Amino acid sequence: MPAAALPGRATASSNPDRIGLSGWGNYPKVSTELLAPRTPAGARDHLLGRSGVVARGAGRAYGDAAIGTHTTISTRGLNRMRSFDAASAELTVEAGVTIADILAAFEPRGFFLKVVPGTKFVTVGGAIAADLHGKNHHRDGGFGTIVESFRLALPGGEILSCSRAENAALFMATLGGMGLTGMILDATLRLLPIETAWLRQDTRVAGNLEAAIDQLESSASATYSVAWIDCLARGAALGRSLVYLAEHATRRDQELLGPELAPFPSPRMSRLSVPELFPGWLLNRASMRAFNELYFRRGAAQQGEQRLVHWDPYFFPLDAIADWNRIYGRRGFVQYQCVIPQAHARRVLADILDRVSRRGDASFLAVLKQLGDGGGPMSFPLRGYTLTMDLPVSDTLFAFLDELDALVVDAGGRLYLAKDARQSRATFESGYPGLAALRDIRQQTGATTRLVSHLSARLGI
């Protein structure tokens, strides 16, 4: 029996030592002090008198965005909901509440979030700080568009209410501001009424990248659209994809397409009713090629047929596999996500995909999405196409990614800070002309030297 194995052992309160912390990509792992306040007021108090500090939500940013150079303040204890007004659909929650929490509580009552990312395990604070986007960005904009207001604790301890009407510049700079304008304590979001828990999904096959982009372009009126690219396909089939288009199913849609289904099935039922997209046992490199082939054929077989898919596997396929980030092993991985402006997208994305496919160790799937105009000055999206893929860290990876960066910069594109762990300052500065606005705000609020993440130190924000 280990020494501390029984409850109530009054060990001397162990000094909150510096620990090694990483993002979802397990790279880089760096040393920081980790604080875990239990209340918004406690979180604000931790900011006082500290430098080199940044907030951390669920730790789902892939790189070094949510690790303070000296101190990291976890918002996981800020996990209480405050109030909900059914008439206005306005929900106020503390910053550490996750999208999963919100959907668990409100989906059964007929509400969804208009903007959700690829995982439901992110916090609201993190969603705002990254101004994350969903599969409908080209139509509906980023997470910021559903944020009515939030309260921000500044490094000096002052707490400001921010909205489009109040402290508007600070509000906008905080969208995509990666926690560098202050610490978000709570936020008011506007929920989306839905009639059912189902999506009406339409699958299209695209034989190559050109066709995939054509499909996305011609279906711009679809609410949700995304292309899953088979990265193992080469040559003429380079970029072969399944394009998924979807709408929230109305009650009528559901009665037509799935009369046997409940409009809001219990979570258990929803898991049973739709096969998981990615069973965990398939996630090893040896079986990837076979899996891709199977996956592609299954999708192709569904072409032209409308079917109902529950929101959980539709939006969050990887959430079904706990800790999927571990498949890349101890050295971790980088999720490379760039956006290329519309005009250059076809040429540059083809070039990137070609290089990645020839490299061979890349992710077996890549995701291609359309983006619209960005929200805040530091928001990632710009009108064009965004490509996302996972690459395991290796000795040659970073030099390779520098090559890709050069293509992105050349095309006037940029990299997503929530995914970034390694881009250069030059790449960053050329991609984010809104940086000046963020720097101004940081000067004004005293954040420049106080709120410093490993990401902001690396990129000179």
Partner 1 sequence: MTGTKSILVIGGSSDIGHATALRYAREGWRVTLAARDIEAAQRNADDIRTRSGVETTVQALDVLQTAQLAGFVAGLSVLPDTVVCVVGELGDQLRAQTDPELATTIMRTNFEAPSLLLEQFAQRFEARGSGTIVGVSSVAGDRGRASNYYYGAAKAGFSQFLSGLRNRLALAGKVRVVTVKPGFVRTRMTAHMKLPAPLTVDPDRVADDIYLADVTRPRDVIYVARRFRLVMTIICALPEAIFKRMRI
Instruction: Please report, as ranges, the residues that interact with partner 1 according to CB under 8 A.
Output: 1-11, 13-14, 36, 38-39, 80-84, 91-93, 101, 105, 109
Distances (CA, A) of 338 to 149, 355, 412, 421: 28, 15, 11, 13
For partner 1, which is the closer residue by CB, 97 or 130?
Answer: 97
Cα separation, 222 vs 224, whole angstroms: 6
Query: Closest distance between partner 1 and the C-beta of residue 11, in Å?
Result: 6
Q: Which is nearer to partner 1, 91 or 452 (CB)?
A: 91
How far apart (Å, rounded) are the C-alpha atoms in residues 315 and 325?
Answer: 18
Nearest approach in angstroms of CB 39 to partner 1 is 7
| Minimum separation from the CB atom of position 80 to partner 1 (A) | 4
For residue 185, the minimal CB distance to partner 1 (Å) is: 13
Q: Name the residue nearer to partner 1 (CB basis): 101 or 420.
A: 101
Minimum CB–partner distance for residue 187 and partner 1 (Å) = 13
Cis peptide preceding 28, ω within 30 of 0: yes
Shortest distance (Å) from residue 183 CB to partner 1: 18
Q: How far is the CB of 78 from partner 1 (least distance, A)?
A: 10
Ramachandran sector of residue 60 (left: φ over 0; alpha: ψ -120 to 50; beta: rest): alpha
- What is the distance between the alpha carbons of residues 263 and 272, in angstroms, rounded to a whole number? 15
Q: Is 290 exposed, middle or buried (0-12, 13-18, 19+ CB in 10 A)?
A: exposed
Q: Looking at beta carbons only, is 13 or 396 nearer to partner 1?
A: 13
Contact between 377 and 434 under an 8 Å Cβ cutoff? The reply is yes
Residue entry with tokens 């000067």: 443
Angle between helices 342-359 and 397-410 (to 10 degrees): 160
Alpha-carbon 163 to chain mean position: 22
Which C-beta is closer to partner 1: that of 123 or that of 370? 123
Return the number of the residue (38 or 331) whose C-beta is nearest partner 1.
Answer: 38
Cα 370 to Cα 135, 219, 220, 239, 243: the distances in Å are 8, 10, 9, 15, 12
**Closer to partner 1 by Cβ: residue 94 or 390:** 94
Longest dimension (CA), the chain: 66
Q: Which is nearer to partner 1, 10 or 236 (CB)?
A: 10
Q: How far is the CB of 432 from partner 1 (least distance, A)?
A: 36
CB 385 within 8 A of CB 239: no
